[in-house]
Amino acid sequence: QCGVAYDLQEYKIGQWAMAAPVFDRNSTVLAAASLILPPSRTDKNNIQHFASSLKNCVGELSTAIKQIS
């Protein structure tokens, strides 16, 4: 719904992860980009900053892929 999947130590204690899809020109998921953070370097209040940056990144990747495919 928000475009980012989160894992807040559910898979592995000591790491938070997030991932977002990269789309092709047909809006098909072509790949995903992810970010892994130790909880000691962030908190649940500012994790949205990282999610926003990740969404910007995959948006740029998707745009570039649409232009060449």
Query: What's the pLDDT score for residue 6?
Result: 92
Q: Which helix or strand (DSSP H or E) is residue 21 part of?
A: strand 16-23
Tens of pLDDT, residue by residue over 9-29, are 888 888 989 999 999 999 999
Query: What's the pLDDT score for residue 1?
Result: 56
Sheet holding 16-23, edge to edge: 5-8, 16-23, 29-37
